């Protein structure tokens, strides 16, 4: 509902849900003041009308209600997303640790292979073989 600066009696009745006669009686009994009386009727300030008869659909109350209903939903969504993010970060850290472990194992196996290859190389000398019979 659009908030106006001034209301006629009919507009005020519609905005507050009261009868025109109720609005007119409150003006006549000086319960509510009017900004001015014109040839078309009374000009009632919005603040004065709201003071005596609160508006039916006040935008402020609608917005406050929306904010109150949206906040828990967003909080729940944020909590779910935060939990998913933490789980993904944990999986990432675990994967990094696994990769580092594999790198260490590979490095150790390369060193071990080099060591074993060195042991298996032919270390026989190139001197001619001696015969077992010394006289010949």
Residue 50, C-beta contacts closer than 8 angstroms, at least 6 positions apart: 58
Ranges 63-67, 73-77, 113-117, 128-132: which has the least confidence: 63-67
Whole-prediction pTM value?
0.40
* pLDDT, mean of residues 37-64: 74
Which tokens hold the place of 56? 């039916």
Backbone angles phi and psi of 29, in degrees to 5: -90, 5
Ranges 1-5, 42-46, 62-66, 118-122: which has the least confidence: 62-66
pLDDT at 49: 85
* pLDDT, mean of residues 5-27: 87
Ranges 9-18, 33-42, 99-108, 126-135: which has the least confidence: 126-135
Note the pLDDT tens digit of each residue in 51-95.
888 877 655 445 444 544 556 667 788 888 999 999 999 999 999
- Between 9-16 and 20-28, two packed helices, what is the crossing angle to 10 degrees? 110
What is the radius of gyration, based on Cα positions, of the chain?
A: 46
- CA–CA separation, 43 vs 115, rounded Å? 102
């Amino acid at each position: 509902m659009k908030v106006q600066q001034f209301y006629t009696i009919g507009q005020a009745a519609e905005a507050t849900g009261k009868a025109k006669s109720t609005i007119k009686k409150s003006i006549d009994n000086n319960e509510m003041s009017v900004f001015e009386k014109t040839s078309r009727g009374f000009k009632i300030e919005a603040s004065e009308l709201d003071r005596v008869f609160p508006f039916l659909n006040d935008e402020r109350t609608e917005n406050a209600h929306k904010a109150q209903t949206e906040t828990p939903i967003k909080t729940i969504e944020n909590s779910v997303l935060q939990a998913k993010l933490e789980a993904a970060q944990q999986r990432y850290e675990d994967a990094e640790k696994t990769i580092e472990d594999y790198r260490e194992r590979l490095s150790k196996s390369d060193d071990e292979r080099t060591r074993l290859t060195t042991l298996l190389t032919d270390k026989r000398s190139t001197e001619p073989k001696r015969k077992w019979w010394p006289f010949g």
